[in-house]
């Protein structure tokens, strides 16, 4: 195969072909989803109004008042199912949770009294709590700082449906096991928990096990995952890392990188960069270039002035473009994306929390080519030509390609070794504090309510 110029090493196309071959392996069978939640309520219908007789003026019908709806009784629990729930509650320590949060003594007392309303209500309530924490995580939303990765699991597998199915099958243990994360990193943390030598170490493992429950149980057959504290990116196919990359993440403070679960919609080779107004107006770039088109061209910018006087500056494709030679298009309200950079020296630094929030990727061109092959049906030759053309080229994805920007301070590194990472944004403290307190009831909140900061400056 011929060599291509630019900043692409000879191994790029080979790596892309390898990735394609690995991704072409037969997929594992997917578990069929259930039909949807059972409607346990039935609204009473108003009685039909009589039809007035001809030539008789009938009074206006009164607004029908719906009959009061009786509370829906809790599902029926046999003593055997309740005993199985009690066993499950006493075993939650292996999943990084605390049995006391699920009131085993209260459930035990209800079991002793026998089957009936009290047992039904107690067991249903406690099973619901356990379902929520296994599926969605124990940590209350306010303690999940800058957490904007909405977990879809409760929509796919609602609590009432899980309870009904578990009682029908008499399989409490199986219903709970089916909610736990499938990622091998969760299994590694679970295996490490009983080996923890200090309470602090155990607490950190529990917190990071819970972070996996904040995400979708199944991340997909192929995806990108960045662990911000590790400052590394993984390209993953069927939970196997086929390539990893050093990344530069956001500086602590206002430009810290938020946690997201998004979808790559396209790979952009040779991107342009629309310079934010904080630089165009705030730093005087627009005023300096607007009346000097030759200077703008020499510096690689295209400058326009709107009728209202606003100056817009767009950096054109090239080796000096602030986005480098590649950008992954993953629309989100934070304007966060993964991209190349002309400033390669930062990848050699041990602490790479240096950006304005976006994620710079070492070896980004290789990543772009591989993504084009895996997700957009490009050939290796087409991907290489798109890069070397030096022309803006956006390739839409034809397959769903999730990207997860996560925050794990205890996790397997890209070499598979479980280790601790520096808590660069100090996000452990609120999670650890929530575990030290009694469990809080879940609310309808699905993500952080903090200010959304648009981090569109890659510099």
pLDDT at residue 338 is higher than 80: yes
User: In this predicted model, what pLDDT tens digit does every residue of 86-132 receive, in sequence order?
Assistant: 999 999 999 999 999 999 999 999 999 999 999 999 999 999 999 99
pTM to 2 decimal places = 0.84
Q: Are 91 and 97 in contact (CB under 8 A)?
A: no
CATH class belonging to 219-410: mainly beta
For residue 39, what pLDDT is reported?
34
User: In this predicted model, what pLDDT tens digit does every residue of 398-430 receive, in sequence order?
Assistant: 999 999 999 999 999 999 999 999 999 999 999
Phi, psi of 426, deg, nearest 5? 55, 45
- CA distances, 111 to each of 48, 78, 85 (Å): 46, 9, 11
What average pLDDT does this structure show over 252-277?
95
Q: Residue 314 contacts by C-beta under 8 Å, 6 or more apart in sequence?
A: 272, 273, 274, 275, 301, 302, 303
- CA distances, 47 to each of 51, 62, 66, 436 (Å): 12, 12, 9, 54
User: In this predicted model, what pLDDT tens digit does every residue of 370-400 receive, in sequence order?
Assistant: 999 999 999 999 999 999 999 999 999 999 9
User: In this predicted model, what pLDDT tens digit does every residue of 428-451 receive, in sequence order?
Assistant: 999 999 999 999 999 999 999 998
User: In this predicted model, what pLDDT tens digit does every residue of 221-252 receive, in sequence order?
Assistant: 999 999 999 999 999 999 899 999 999 999 99
Q: Residue 84 contacts by C-beta under 8 Å, 6 or more apart in sequence?
A: 170, 172, 173
The proportion of the chain whose per-residue pLDDT surpasses 70, expressed as a percent, equals 83
For residue 112, what pLDDT is reported?
97
Give the other-Cβ count within 10 Å of 177's Cβ. 12
Tell me the domain boundaries of the chain. 79-217+417-435, 219-410
Average pLDDT score over the chain? 88
What average pLDDT does this structure show over 254-274?
96
For residue 66, what pLDDT is reported?
65
- CA distances, 298 to each of 213, 262, 293, 315 (Å): 51, 36, 9, 11
Please report, to the nearest 10 degrees, the dihedral formed by the alpha carbons of residues 124, 210, 430, 226 taken in order: -140
For residue 454, what pLDDT is reported?
80
């Amino acid at each position: 195969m011929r060599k291509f110029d630019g900043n692409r090493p000879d191994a790029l196309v080979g790596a892309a072909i390898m990735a394609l071959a690995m991704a072409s392996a037969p997929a594992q069978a997917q578990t069929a989803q259930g039909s949807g939640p059972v409607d346990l309520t039935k609204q009473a219908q108003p009685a039909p109004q009589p039809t007035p007789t001809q030539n008789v003026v009938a009074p206006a019908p009164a607004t029908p008042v719906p009959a009061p709806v009786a509370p829906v009784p809790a599902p029926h629990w046999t003593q055997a199912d309740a005993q199985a729930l009690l066993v499950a509650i006493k075993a939650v320590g292996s999943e990084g949770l605390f049995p006391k949060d699920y009131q085993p003594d209260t459930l035990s007392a209800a079991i002793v009294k026998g089957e009936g309303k009290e047992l039904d209500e107690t067991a249903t309530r406690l099973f619901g709590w356990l379902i929520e924490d296994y599926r969605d995580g124990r940590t209350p939303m306010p303690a999940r700082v800058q957490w904007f990765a909405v977990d879809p699991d409760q929509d796919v597998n609602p609590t009432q449906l899980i309870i009904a199915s578990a009682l029908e099958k008499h399989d409490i243990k199986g219903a709970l096991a089916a909610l736990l994360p499938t990622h091998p990193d969760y299994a590694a943390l679970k295996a490490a928990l009983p080996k923890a030598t200090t309470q602090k170490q155990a607490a950190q493992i529990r917190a990071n096990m819970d972070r996996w429950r904040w995400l979708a149980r199944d991340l997909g057959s192929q995806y990108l995952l960045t662990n911000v504290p590790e400052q590394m990116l993984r390209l993953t196919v069927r939970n196997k890392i086929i390539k990893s990359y050093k990344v530069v993440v956001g500086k602590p403070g206002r430009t810290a990188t938020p946690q997201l679960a998004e979808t790559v919609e396209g790979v952009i080779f040779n991107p342009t960069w629309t310079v934010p107004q904080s630089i165009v107006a705030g730093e005087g770039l627009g005023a300096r270039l607007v009346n000097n088109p030759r200077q703008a061209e020499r510096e690689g910018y295209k400058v326009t002035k709107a009728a209202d006087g606003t100056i817009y500056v767009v950096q054109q494709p090239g080796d000096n473009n602030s986005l480098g030679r590649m950008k992954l298009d993953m629309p989100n309200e934070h304007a966060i994306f993964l991209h190349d950079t002309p400033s390669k020296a930062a990848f050699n630094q041990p602490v790479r929390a240096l950006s304005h929030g976006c994620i710079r990727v070492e070896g980004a061109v290789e990543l772009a080519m591989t993504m084009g092959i895996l997700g957009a049906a490009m050939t290796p030759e087409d991907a290489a030509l798109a890069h070397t053309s030096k022309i803006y080229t956006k390739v839409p994805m034809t397959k769903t390609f999730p990207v997860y920007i996560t925050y794990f301070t205890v996790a397997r590194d890209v070499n598979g070794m479980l280790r601790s990472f520096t808590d660069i944004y100090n996000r452990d403290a609120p999670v650890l504090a929530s575990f030290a307190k009694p469990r809080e009831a879940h609310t309808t909140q699905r993500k952080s309510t903090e200010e959304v900061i648009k981090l569109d400056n890659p510099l």
